[in-house]
Amino acid sequence: MKQADIVVIGGSAAGIAAAITARRHYPEKSIILIRKEAQVLIPCGIPYIFGTLGKPENNLIPDSVLQNNNIELIVNEAVELHAKELDPREKKVVLANGELVLYDKLILATGSSPTVLPIPGFDKKNVYTIKKDAKYLQNLLGTLDNVKDLVILGCGFIGVEFADECKKNRDINVTIVEMLDQCLQIVFGEGACKCCQEIEDYLSTKGITIVTGTSIDEILGDEKITAVRLSNGKEIKADALIVGVGVSSNVELAKKAGLATSKAGVFVDTTMRTSDPNIFACGDCATKFSFFTGQPSTLRLASIATTEARIAGANLYEISRKNLGALGVFATAVGDLTVAIAGVSEKGAKNCGFEVVTGEAEAPDRHPAGMPGTSKMWVKLIFNKVNGELIGGAVKGGPSAGELINAISACIQNRMRANDIAIFQIGTHPAVTASPIAYPLVTAAEIALKKMKT
C-alpha cells in the first residue's frame, strides 16, 4: 500500500501540470502521479513524428520533470483507465495488481480517447485514429513505409499537419476528406477564409489533394482497407486511413466511483472541483464552458488542459483560482506560413448573438521590410460593437504570428476594448517586430474604432 497527500491520475499534459502546480503551492505535501503510459508523448507534437521528428522517441515529455519536483511516479501500463477502481468514501485508488494508493486530495486527468466513428469498415486493418500511445504510433509509422495511397479524414489542424508531415520524405499520394467547404473552416469560420485558402494553396503545391463538402460513408476492402466511398458516391483508393476527427472524454473511472459525469466529461465547478469535495478534475476528461457565453463547450486543447490543471493544482487545500471558461487559441504552421486564431470567429460571434465590428491590417513583421527573414503579417480583430470589447482575432504570417496570437488572447481574457489596444504599449526592434508606426495589432484596433464611430 502507498499513501500520499495528493494523488494525480493521468500523466499527459494536464496531469503533469497539475502535479507540478500542486508541488509549487503545497511544498510540504507528498505527491504521487499514476499513469498507464510507459512513455508520455507531447500531444501537439504527434503529427511531426511522421516527418520532421522521425520517431515517437523524439516527441516525449521526460520523466525528469516529475523527479525534479519530488513527485513519485507509478506506471500502471496494463490498465486503460490508469487505475482499476476509485473509492471516494475510503479515499483510495486500486491499481491493476490490487495495490492500494491512499490519498487526501485527488486530481483526475484521465484525458480523452479518439471517437470510433459509425462508419462501416472502421475496424479494418490500416485504419488509424490519433492515439497518444508511442507503440501505436510506431506501428502507424511502419505502416506508412508500405503505403502508396493515404487518405486523411478531417482537414482541421490535425489533418493539415498530418498531411504535410506524411508527405515529407515519402513518395505517396495524400488526400484529405473534409465535410466543410474549406480546410480549417470549423475554427476560422467564413470570415477568415484568407487563412484557410492560403493553407489549401500550400498543401496543393505539395501535391496533396483536398476534397471538401463530403464525408466518408464506407471503408472498403476485405480485412484491410483498399478504398473509401464518399457521401457523394465517389471512391478514393486508400492503403491506409488516418482519422483526425472527434474525441470522447475518459469518464469511466469517475462514473464508476459515483462522481457526477456526462458524455461531455466529469462535472466540475469553476474551481475544477468535482461533485466530491476532495476530488478535482482537469483537461480533456473535465466538462468545459465558453468564456464568452457560459454555455457548454466542446473545445479540447492542451492549452486549455494545462490552464485547468494549474487551477486544480492550486485549489486543493485553499481556493485561490477560478476558471474563466474555454477561450480557444489555435495555431499551426505549414512551410513558411503560420496561421492562428483566438476567441471566436466573425461567424461564431454572430452565432453567439454578438453584433460585431472588425478591423484588419497588414504590415511587415520586421522593419524596414528589407530586414532578413521578413514576412507579411496580417491581423484581423473582432470586437463586440455594443461595448467595444475584443472577442476574437486571427493572425497570418511568419513564426511571430504564433506569439502575437497569445498577446491577442491576453487582450480577450482581460476584456480589453478597442481603444485600450489602440494605445497598447509595445516593445519593438527592427530585427524581431513590426514597426511601431504600423504595428498591425494596433492598426487593426484603430480601423475598428473608426468603423464604430461612423
Residue 82 — pLDDT band, cuts 50, 70, 90?
low
Three-class HEC string of 168-235? CCCCCEEEEEECCCCCCHHHHCHHHHHHHHHHHHHHHHCCCEEEECCCEEEEECCCECCEEEECCCCE
Instruction: Spell out the residues 6+ positions from residue 27 whose beta carbon is closer than 8 angstroms to its own.
Output: none
CB 57 within 8 A of CB 30: no
Write down the pLDDT at residue 22: 98
pLDDT at 299: 94
* CA distances for 284 relative to 12, 105, 108, 307, angstroms: 10, 20, 10, 12
| Dist. CA 122–CA 220, nearest whole Å | 9
How far is residue 203's CA from residue 30's CA, in Å, rounded to a whole number?
50
Mean pLDDT for 171-177 is 97
Contacts of 267 (CB under 8 A, 6+ apart): 259, 260, 261, 274, 275, 287
**What topology is assigned to 127-243 in CATH?**
FAD/NAD(P)-binding domain (3.50.50)
Looking at the domain 2-113+247-315, which fold is it? FAD/NAD(P)-binding domain (3.50.50)
Please list the residues that pair with 166 across neighbouring strands.
Answer: none
Please give the share of the chain, as a percent, with pLDDT higher than 90.
Answer: 90
> How do the domains of the chain map onto residue ranges?
2-113+247-315, 127-243, 330-449
For range 293-319, the mean pLDDT: 97
Give the model's confidence band at 190: pLDDT under 50 very low, under 70 low, under 90 confident, else very high. Answer: low
What burial letters (b/e) apply to 359-382, b meaning 16+ CB within 10 Å?
Answer: bbbbbbbbbeeeeeebbebbbbbb
Predicted confidence at residue 77, as pLDDT, reads 60
Interior CA angle at 332 toward 347 and 111, to 5°?
A: 90
Model pLDDT for residues 232-252, shown as the tens digit of each residue: 999 999 999 999 998 999 999
**Whether pLDDT at 124 is above 90:** yes
Whether 363 and 374 have beta carbons less than 8 Å apart is answered as no
d(CA 428, CA 371): 14
pLDDT of residue 223: 95
Q: Which CATH class is domain 330-449?
A: alpha beta
Percent of the chain with pLDDT over 70: 98
pLDDT at 80 over 90: no
The pLDDT, as a whole number, for residue 189 is 76
pLDDT in tens, 320-378: 999 999 999 999 999 999 999 999 998 889 888 999 999 999 999 999 999 999 999 99
> pLDDT tens-digit profile of 5-28?
999 999 999 999 999 999 999 999
Q: What is the pLDDT of residues 403-431, one digit of tens each?
A: 999 999 999 999 999 999 999 999 999 99
Residues 182, 245 contacting (CB under 8 angstroms): no
User: In CATH terms, are 127-243 and 330-449 the same topology?
Assistant: yes
Please name every residue paired with 162 in a beta bridge, in sequence order, or none if there are none: none
Distances (CA, A) of 48 to 118, 334, 411, 425: 28, 11, 30, 36
pLDDT the model gives residue 193 = 64
pTM, entire model: 0.94
* C-alpha separations of 45 from 9, 61, 143, 220 in Å: 22, 11, 19, 30
Q: Give the CA distances from residue 349 to residues 352, 399, 413, 446, in Å, rounded to whole numbers and listed in that order.
A: 5, 27, 15, 20
